[in-house]
Amino acid sequence: MKIHEYQAKRILAKYGVTIPRGDTADTYTQAVDIAKSLGTEVNVVKAQIHAGGRGKGGGVKVCKGLEEVETHAKVIIGMQLVTHQTGPEGQRVKRVLVEEGMDIKKELYCSVLVDRATQSVVFLASTEGGMDIEEVAEKTPEKIIKVFVDPAVGFRSYQAMQLAYGLQVDATDPKLVRPMAKLMSSLYNAFVGEDCSLVEINPLILTGDGRVIALDSKVTFDDNALFRHKELLDLRDLDEEDPLEIEASQADLNYIKLDGNIGCMVNGAGLAMGTMDIIKAYGAEPANFLDVGGTATTERVAKAFQIITSDSNVKCILINIFGGIVRCDIVAEGIVAAFKEVGLNVPVVVRLEGTNAEKAQEIIASSGFGDQLQMADGLREAAKKAVAVVQS
């Protein structure tokens, strides 16, 4: 689950992370009132949407004086902000964050996430704050510091100091080494305490008056742990999420809408990623990521069809099921039921392997839907057939 920047900052502040003073506004008059209350000559107006790259898209403006706050707030609130993460359609801005301007001496980068390869929490830090970390990793990978934290042991003080010195804080201001180390401990506590999947600060700044401040932040939560944090559900902004993704989550389906035209229904996240990769390898684009999970029922499969076909871009559906916990015949029954209940009008290519696969093939073959419902022997053949359908 994603939240807005201002919400992320408030959560980090609970754990001792210093953030700029500010508040959110839904109108330009509110924005001006907030700037007045801050009493600073320079303020920043920042669009609040679930996407990065807001500054490059015109959604972040530094303002000198109240007139500029009013001018920029008028433009940003209500604009359709386009960034590299929103797609060409952009997202409508309904709220801005108005903050005090900062005397920035140095910009840094820091994030905390899970490293599945080592089964540990990893800190990523860089002296190249304010830039896309992917760009830094590609062009100057030596500038990225990695510190791995064993979850059984926890974050140690020497690791906090390792990050502070790795970010060369001592070269900017030796007095900031300990505050930086303390901030790293706060980030770890926030990451673990809130069951996050990502905590990112970019930029993390050193100020001229000797402070370490999270100037921008991003926090996402592990959906599987939200049952422990009911209060976090109140932070969810449904207007920022795709309606189909919301509907899928309510049906316990993992669905992410993409820009292609081949709908995917798969059991297992890894298999779903492989399915999307092979579709691209054969020259087409997946329309979605959809994982029906390991306990797919006839009803859930039918619901998955309904969600996939709600996307008008879908011209073919590729079903790739490896039956282990989930039985292939149950999936096959769901497919046939979906054709009858949902009224599918797009071709479907099915690859079923594993538990009760032969029985599933019999169900598909006797369904009476002819060429609209095709079986495939293996994932390679299934992908070829699906791509051929959309290319024809």
Q: What's residue 86's pLDDT?
A: 79
- Peptide bond between residue 88 and the one before it cis (omega within 30 degrees of 0): no
- The three-point CA angle 324-249-291 to 5° equals 30
Residue 390: which of 359, 353, 346, 351 has the closest Cα? 346
CATH number for the domain spanning 386: value is 3.40.50.261
Pair 251, 371 in one domain? yes
From the list 5, 194, 200, 333, the catalytic residue is: 200
Q: What share of the chain is helix, strand, coil (3-state, %, to 5)?
A: 40, 25, 30
Considering 109, 194, 255, 333, which one is annotated as catalytic?
109
Domain match, 144 and 192 both: yes
What pTM did the predictor assign?
0.76
Helix, strand or coil, per DSSP, at residue 376? coil
Dump pLDDT digits (tens) for 54-113.
Answer: 888 899 999 999 999 999 999 999 999 998 887 788 889 999 999 999 999 999 999 999
Q: What is the CA radius of gyration of the chain?
A: 25
Find residue 362's DSSP bridge partners. none
242 forms bridges with which residues in the sheet? none
Q: Last residue of some domain: 74, 101, 128?
A: 101
Confidence of residue 325 (pLDDT cuts 50, 70, 90): low
97 and 108 both lie in a single domain: no
- Structural domains of the chain, count: 3
Q: Are residues 88 and 122 in the same domain?
A: no
Q: 125 - beta bridge partners?
A: 110, 145
Let me know whether 66 and 202 are in one domain: no
**27 plus 124 within the same structural domain:** no
Residue with tokens 């500038």: 143
376 lies in the same domain as 299: yes
**Average pLDDT of span 344-371:** 83
Q: What is the mean pLDDT of residues 380-386?
A: 93
- Of 344, 231, 203, nearest in space to 1 by CA: 231
> Could you tell me the CA-to-CA distances from 102 to 59, 66, 322 in Å, in that order?
18, 16, 54
Residues 267 and 382 in one domain: yes
What's the pLDDT tens digit per position in 268-324?
888 899 999 999 999 999 999 998 876 666 677 788 888 998 888 999 999 998 876
Domain that holds residue 283: 242-391
- Supply the CATH number for residue 58's domain: 3.30.1490.20
CATH code: domain of residue 147: 3.30.470.20
Residue where a domain terminates, one of 81, 101, 121 = 101
Active-site residue flag, 109:
yes
Burial class (CB in 10 A: 0-12, 13-18, 19+), 198: middle
Instruction: For residues 234 and 299, state if they share a domain.
Output: no
> Are both 144 and 224 inside the same structural domain?
yes
In this prediction, residue 269 carries a pLDDT of 82
Quote the CA–CA distance of 273 and 330 in Å, as a whole number: 23
Residue 9 pLDDT exceeds 90? yes
122 and 229 in a single domain? The answer is yes
DSSP readout, 284-315? Answer: --BSEEEE--TT--HHHHHHHHHHHHTSTT--
Q: Is 206 helix (H, G, I), strand (E, B) or coil?
A: strand
Is 107 noted as a catalytic residue in this protein?
Answer: no
Mean pLDDT of the chain: 89
Q: Supply the DSSP symbol for 201.
A: E
Tell me if residue 180 falls in helix, strand or coil. helix
Task: List the single range of 25-34, 71-80, 210-219, 227-236 with lowest mean pLDDT.
Answer: 227-236
First vs last C-alpha separation in the chain: 38
Q: Which of 205, 240, 275 is the last residue of a domain?
A: 240
Are 387 and 262 spatial neighbours (Cβ–Cβ below 8 Å)? yes
pLDDT of 344 over the 80 cut? no
Residues 39 and 178 in one domain: no
Structure tokens at 88: 């060409």
Give, in order, the Cα–Cα distances in Å from 273 to each of 59, 98, 121, 264. Answer: 33, 39, 23, 10
